[in-house]
Structure 1
């Protein structure tokens, strides 16, 4: 049931954002969907199957195990259910923010994460463009964090839904009025804010790491408000990977194992 809820919710949000992109796009894309989407959606499908047959329920089961054995801070303190849920969501959000920074700073993990950033455009499908090994590593990291926190099992289901929904939203090629965007940024990550993180400029890419709420970037001084060039003209992707014909499905799977894989791009 958990998997069905997550899948139907994620699919619904994805379809909604794709429709919004078609009606009010933020940028005119130079690389068409027919070139990028088979790769991005192919990786998403592969990851979905991989998680289904391996560690897909590890996060939830880790929370259940921690609750049964009293592991983790929240279980040791015996806080109320409401506070447990709120604390789980907040602490996991910060944990994912920290993980994202490590994915960029640790060369070994950057080899995996750079597949996400090698996309030459930025839309809802970018949100699901990840190397399978990164997905597995991230799941084990999340499971460890859940046990240490003593994460509430109900909150874990909600967190996974929020994680998928927020990623789809903030990777979308949608136009939000500037005034509204500035207000929203005080609470959540907007597409204009996260697009800067996908800039081809490394000084811009090393900022705006948040995926859901914007407070971590502001508190940890990793927030920048605008790119050097405009949102509609800035280059997306990695400078080391500027040719779409070099970013096919199999090429993306092999990028981490190539000799230049640790280059920032």
Structure 2
């Protein structure tokens, strides 16, 4: 664990690159869905937005989640620093608590209107693949980092636990957003424990009751326990529509400048809110219907 702390950048970057390459190969070799837009059209915006977000976090964020953990350790602040809990136990509790917190944060970004304005940038992608996992509005990234920093400080989470969690967060986001067709038996077994691509793909459906479900990114238990689990999309994975009904122009969905200004596009937002309200009223009875894949 000391090695991970001493080589944080190498550890995180190496695993990120490894998982990215593995998922890119898997998408090419075993694709689940035929994409409706070219990779060149979508990837340029998604990758540019990811790079922009990373740079702004490095420059503008005063304290990262790892920095908050270092502060808590140095000052003796936080729950874990008040008790003599073994480091391995503190690491496990941190990973579970933060996983649940990110699940709840994700749900809030769907339920609170001004937060949804930011989060819809993620859902505006007209296909879903490994690059979608890092496609978020810059302000949402800042808010998420602030939330994680506060939680880490309150817990007094070990530095190594936060590094592992942040690595899991990015790695699992690439995995469960990937356009990979896992064998049915493998998917059924994995989703007992973690969020699979098929499970999370439901969340990117244009159907409101499917979009407002399956909020998890790592552990799949939260959606089951809190009644937000939809096993399969009603129209099946090959026929379901990905994205938002109100956003169909590449300038809004794939261009970095269009994505950044999307939360301010009032006409689009008004149509999205109205459609969300109307479709939710008609579709809530479908939530737990199991359909062919």
CA distance in 1, matches of 2:62, 2:51: 13
Measured on the aligned residues, the alpha-carbon RMSD in Å equals 1.4
- Given the alignment, which residue of 208, 211, 216 partners 1:210? 216
User: What does residue range 104-115 of structure 1 map to in structure 2 within 5 Å?
Assistant: 104-115=110-121
- Higher alpha-carbon Rg: 2
Q: Are residues 77 and 61 of structure 1, via their aligned partners in 2, closer, same or farther at CA, if it must alter by over 3 Å?
A: same
Give the superposition deviation at 1:210.
0.3
Query: Are 1:50 and 2:88 an aligned pair?
Result: no
Give the superposition deviation at 1:246.
3.3
Give the superposition deviation at 1:240.
0.7
- In the other structure, the counterpart of 1:40 is 46
Q: Secondary structure at the match of 1:46?
A: helix
Give the superposition deviation at 1:16.
1.2
- In the other structure, the counterpart of 1:97 is 103
Q: Secondary structure at the match of 1:196?
A: helix
Give the superposition deviation at 1:57.
5.5
- Given the alignment, which residue of 92, 101, 122 partners 2:128? 122
Q: Count residues with an aligned counterpart.
A: 265
- Given the alignment, which residue of 159, 178, 183 partners 1:153? 159
Q: Are residues 90 and 72 of structure 1, via their aligned partners in 2, closer, same or farther at CA, if it must alter by over 3 Å?
A: same
CA distance in 2, matches of 1:43, 1:8: 21
Give the superposition deviation at 1:56.
7.8
Unaligned 5+ segments in structure 1 are: none
Query: Are 1:237 and 2:204 an aligned pair?
Result: no
Give the superposition deviation at 1:237.
0.2
Q: Secondary structure at the match of 2:110?
A: helix
Q: TM-score of the superposition, structure 2-length normalised?
A: 0.87
CA distance in 2, matches of 1:4, 1:252: 30
- In the other structure, the counterpart of 1:85 is 91
Give the superposition deviation at 1:51.
1.6
8 A Cα contact 2:103 2:217, kept in partner: yes
| Stretches (4+) displaced over 4 A | none
Bigger relative contact order (CA 8 A; separation at least 6): 1
- In the other structure, the counterpart of 1:7 is 13
Unaligned 5+ segments in structure 2 are: 1-6, 276-293
